[in-house]
Amino acid sequence: MNNEDIFLTWAPNVSPWSAWAKPVLFASMRGITSVPKNQPDMSPESPSDAVWQVSFANDTALILDLPGETSVRAGLAMAEKGWRPVPLFNGCHASYLSRMIVDTRPLIQSLIYGLPVLQQTKLSADAPPAFLLDQRRLSGSSLISPGDYDNRWCIVPQDMPSARYLKQAGIRRVILFADTVMDDLAHILRRYEEGGLLLSIIRPAQMQEASLSVPKPQLFRSIWYRIQVLSGLRRNAAGGFGALIPEPSTSHGYG
């Protein structure tokens, strides 16, 4: 399979949620697009994990904000329950560099290893969404050095469906799987709450669903928010985020 085939398996044209899937990580899968014969089992590892144990009504959208490949594994588990996993990973991969701020190699491998599971689920076109995020997307800022590849990324409200769109698609509830509500996601969830969607959170370590109310974040709905949240992140010319941090002697560009 080539990069496009892999992306279309995760984001098929028949699903309305594929409009939000991010292609940038798939586009950078150079040289690692085949599924090894002895790939690891991408089925649920433990029945005690909350993300693989719970069941919901089909008027529920899921947001799986978990570390890297754990998000993919949980998405595949929810696919087996009838949810369409939608990858929102928006950081580029640089296979030619030894150090990336966000290591995307395990994430890419999990997307490839999970292809057989996803292909066997035969999800319907109207399957509700399970949006996949990487909890590590903004981590590692204190470790950045010249010569590193800075592929940290964030999400903004335009990266996910609006509350109105979700409601028109029959979605009434949104459940977040995460240890905490990250700042960039708070701007989206607050909009969902104001739009009349019911919010709840499941923290995997606690295995309990709790109602969620998101306080109004700083610069909420401000024209300055997008500028602030993107400050310090490096956009990639091919889309998404990712660029080489220049050496001090470099006079222009990011390499």
Give the model's pLDDT for residue 44: 46
Give the residue with greater pLDDT, 100 vs 60: 60
Give the residue with greater pLDDT, 59 vs 99: 59
CA 20, distance to chain mean position in Å, is: 10
pLDDT band at 188 (very low <50, low <70, confident <90, very high): very high
Say yes or no to pLDDT of 253 above 60: no
Measured distance CA(117)–CA(108) in Å, rounded: 15
Say yes or no to pLDDT of 49 above 60: no
Q: What is the chain's mean pLDDT, rounded? A: 86
Say yes or no to pLDDT of 164 above 50: yes
Query: In the block, which residue shows the tokens 């949006």?
Result: 131
Rounded mean pLDDT, 155-167: 96
pLDDT single digits (tens) 145-158? 888 888 889 999 99
Measured distance CA(70)–CA(16) in Å, rounded: 24
Give the model's pLDDT for residue 7: 94
Q: Which of 99, 101, 72, 68 is nearest to 85 (CA)?
A: 72
Tokens (6 digits) for 194: 């104001």
Rounded CA Rg of the chain: 18
Task: Please state which of the ranges 65-74, 83-92, 142-151 shows the lowest mean pLDDT.
Answer: 142-151
Query: In the block, which residue shows the tokens 């999990």?
Result: 110
Give the model's pLDDT for residue 255: 40
Give the model's pLDDT for residue 98: 59
pLDDT single digits (tens) 190-247? 999 999 999 999 998 877 889 999 999 998 888 888 888 888 888 887 788 888 888 7
